[in-house]
Amino acid sequence: MIHTLIQYIQSYLDSDKTPGGAGNIFWAIVYIMLVFVGLSVAVIAMNWLERKILAHMQVRLGPMRVGPHGLLQPIADAIKLLLKEDIIPAEADAAVFWIAPFIVVLAAFTVFVVVPFGPTHAITDMNIGILFMLGVSSLSVLGIVTAGWASNSHYPLIGALRSSAQMVSYEVAMGLAVISAIMMTSLNDQSTGTLSMIGIVQAQLAQGEWFIFKFFPLGLIGFGIFAIAMVAETNRAPFDLPEAESELTAGFHTEYSGFRWSLFFLAEYSAMIAVSSIAVTLWLGGWLRPFPNLLSGPTWDLLFSLFPGVSFLLLAVMCFYNTARMPKHPLFRVQTIGLAGFGVVLGLIGLILFIPAVRIRVTDIFWFATKVAAFMYLYIWYRGTFPRYRFDQLMKVGWKVLLPTGLALLILTALVGMRAELWAELQGAWRP
């Protein structure tokens, strides 16, 4: 009995499929847990990073008190939010008010079912993966609208209206950009395109270039449209109108507090990660390391697989450097030890990542995460730089700039992709 079970668990390790694809429930659950925990950690890390990076852009220090360099600040915040009173306004529609944040969180987390962290590192691989992602992630607007409506208050209502209009109009442009990338996947001998997230990355590997460089500058334009639309889609600066702080106090979540508010926060950040992973998958080669075709061979593979360990070790070194720079004062003793401890933990993780068995399995995840992290940094950078668009200008950008560009891009991609066939057809028409 137990033997069968172990065999069932072990059998997956030899397969080259995703847990969902192999139909292995045990590993699927493990993967779901890992994604859930990893996502939560990523959101917590993002919280800290956003505050620190933004602070350093704005000539200030950011959180410095809770833990060394404020490392424990997000945890302190999380505890504070959980302990806060959960207020439901008397005039609000309690049931809808209660359920709205869960819709948003569900939508934001469910999309990760198909996100490919590696050729086998996805919970499952759907043949309609990208459609599933776009579809489910756009459900979150439902939660935002219900949140704004159920609050029964003016500011949330306006925020929710803005949000629904914004998300609906940017999804169109987003979809057009996505289609142009999907069309690129069909440029192979069999002319078979794919909507599967894993398939899209494998197509980039097979064609030997990331789709951002495909048909230059068409791929780049598509990526640009998506990169703009995804910021609007996640309601982040400079498109953060639904929660425009200076106009609508906090937009659709004005009336929310405590745990329920933190759910919106969680959803916002995981949605950011989700759309970034779509962009990474479609245009930046997903889990592929730089130059997988050009610099191939065992030596290069080995070299690139050392990257995760090295980067963690570098982080550890940074921690130790900052430990040495800590003020030599009894008051800072705990913080100094804490920072050194954090460095040790990072260093250990780095060393573990050097173990060959781990190394092979983790490299893909590392490259994927690095690319997503670059997008996260962009998000923070935007927020530090740009003023906020006005509502009508936002609509103008969406409908009058991104949408026509997207349509033109779609046609151009099709024409360029089919140029050989077109040429043959034309010649045939010319000389019958």
Partner 1 sequence: MTDPNTLSPDLETLDLETHDKTFLDANELVINMGPQHPATHGVLRVILRLDGEKVMGLECVIGYLHRGVEKIAENRTYTMFNPYVDRMDYVAAVSNGLGYCEAVEKLLNVEAPPRAQYVRVILTELNRMASHQLWLGTHALDIGAITPLFYTFRDREEILKIFEKYCGARLTTHAFRIGGLQYETYEGFEKEVKTFVSFVRPKIDEYEELLTTNRIWLERTKGVGKISGKDAIALGVTGPVLRASGVKWDIRKALPYANYKNFDFDIPTGENGDTYDRYLVRMAEFRQSLRIIEQAVDNIPEGPIMAKVPKVIKPPVGEIYHSIEAPKGELGFFIVSDGSTQPYRIRVRPPSFVNLQALDVMCRGQLVADVIAVIGTLDIVLGEVDR
Contact call for residue 58 and partner 1 (CB under 8 A): yes
Contact call for residue 375 and partner 1 (CB under 8 A): no
DSSP letter (8 states) at residue 64: -
Distance of CA 2 to the CA centre of its chain: 39
Stretch that binds partner 1, among 73-81, 198-206, 378-386, 416-424 (CB under 8 A): 378-386
Q: Exactly one of 158, 227, 403, 410 binds partner 1 (CB under 8 A); which one? A: 158
Contact call for residue 244 and partner 1 (CB under 8 A): yes
Give the shortest CB-420-to-partner 1 separation in angstroms: 40
All residues at 6 or more sequence positions from 258 whose CB lies less than 8 Å from its CB, including other chains:
81, 82, 83, 84, 85, 86, 87
Contact call for residue 328 and partner 1 (CB under 8 A): no
Which single residue is written with the structure tokens 């590993």? 27
Q: CA separation (Å) from 428 to 35, 233, 376, 424? A: 54, 46, 50, 6
Stretch that binds partner 1, among 38-46, 327-335, 363-371, 379-387 (CB under 8 A): 379-387
Contact call for residue 249 and partner 1 (CB under 8 A): yes
User: Residue 80 or 154: which CB sits closer to partner 1?
Assistant: 154
Q: Exactly one of 333, 361, 390, 400 binds partner 1 (CB under 8 A); which one? A: 390
Contact call for residue 389 and partner 1 (CB under 8 A): yes
Q: Exactly one of 186, 391, 399, 418 binds partner 1 (CB under 8 A); which one? A: 391
Nearest Cα neighbor of 50 from 383, 396, 380 is 380
Q: Taking CB under 8 A as the rule, which mask of x and - marks residues 27-56 in contact with partner 1?
A: ---------------------------x--
Distance CA 342, CA 334 (A): 12
- What are the two backbone dihedrals, phi and then psi, of residue 46, each rounded to the nearest 5 degrees? -60, -40
Q: 192, 265 in Cβ contact below 8 A? A: no
Q: 293, 133 in Cβ contact below 8 A? A: no
Contact call for residue 392 and partner 1 (CB under 8 A): yes
Q: Which residues bind partner 1 (CB under 8 A)?
A: 54, 57-60, 154-155, 158, 162, 237-238, 240-241, 244-249, 383-393
